[in-house]
Structure 1
């Protein structure tokens, strides 16, 4: 049973929770890990996990050092007219890759997903529940359309940022958004 109240002396509680979260996500995957399980392994009350991180999504983001907040991602995708959602997604995606603070973690994440089926499965489940399902529900779209749009964005990331294929790699973000926005929009309109 987890102790309640503050631990005596110097505390590394947040780091302990993150270590437990990484273990739980590795052992059980995103779908099987729970706040209670993370708290039990860390030896803390589940309320403390919520205090430091909020939701399970946010614990996952912190544990894997993901360079985005899924709630902000969903909010940004959904704000504004539906007929511009494709362009918003492309611009959001390009902005995340353009920022050096988020670019390095994205590159590491892509390489990890490509090299590890376990990491790929965890990230897939997380993206399906934390982002894609929420957007699909809000816009009343089948998941197939959302995953097809996501595949286009992953292809863009691979060609532009990993392979650095020219002229796409050095094309201005506005030009890429103008080119790719209508392609992504198709999945939201058809």
Structure 2
């Protein structure tokens, strides 16, 4: 008889979790997918998802082949001076995107998001919830209100995704040739306005 129940940790557990996560994220989007649901589909204990991947955001980054841990990026951005959050964010993300393997992987991610509805929804929810929304929550734990947080996060995401499209997909020469410092100085104040609420 074949034993029933959850699969114990083993060599194929990671692959099973990734396959289940890929399906759940595609079917439900980032927000609706849950670690518990992914674990159920993979027939493993939810603790194994946390053990192997550290949580939903890191698991999504692995599924989407994002070449960085989102939590580490956010920590780097918010740990610096509050009046430089916008510039730090631009520099931090450019550092990842322009790395040896980052550029190719990020190009693939953006192209997928531009041409496949499921990827668009997943990336949109991930950016507003786990990247830009997380920066806002770290900087202002008591606010802004949910609607304003989503608006600010969405506007910040629009600036950075727009930069990514122009630099890595359209390859507009002046944007491609600009240094990280130049882009941070020009775009940073706009990002700052969205992510650092006044007061």
TM > 0.5 fold call: yes
Q: Name 2:106's counterpart in structure 1.
A: 106
Helix, strand or coil for the counterpart of 1:23? helix
Measured at CA, do residues 133 and 183 of structure 1 come closer, stay the same or move farther in structure 2, by a change above 3 Å? closer
Q: Name 1:91's counterpart in structure 2.
A: 91
Q: Name 2:64's counterpart in structure 1.
A: 64
Shift of 1:6: 4.8
Between 140-149 and 58-67, the greater mean CA deviation after superposition: 140-149
Question: 2:65, 2:28 → 1: CA distance?
Answer: 18
Aligned length: 187
Offset from partner CA, 1:131-177 (integer Å, 9 cap, x none):
22222222235422332222111111111221111222112222222
Listed as ranges, the gaps of 5+ residues in structure 1 are: none
- Output the aligned Cα RMSD: 2.0
1:23 aligns with 2:19: no
Offset from partner CA, 1:75-131 (integer Å, 9 cap, x none):
122112111111101111211121021111111111011101211111111222212
CA contact (8 A) 2:9 2:48 kept: no
Structure 1: 4+ residue segments shifted above 6 A = none
Q: Name 2:169's counterpart in structure 1.
A: 162
**Aligned mate of 1:178, from 179, 182, 185:** 185
Helix, strand or coil for the counterpart of 1:114? helix
Between 154-163 and 137-146, the greater mean CA deviation after superposition: 137-146
Listed as ranges, the gaps of 5+ residues in structure 2 are: none
TM-score, length of structure 2 as denominator length: 0.84
Q: Name 1:125's counterpart in structure 2.
A: 125
TM-score, length of structure 1 as denominator length: 0.87
CA contact (8 A) 2:128 2:157 kept: no
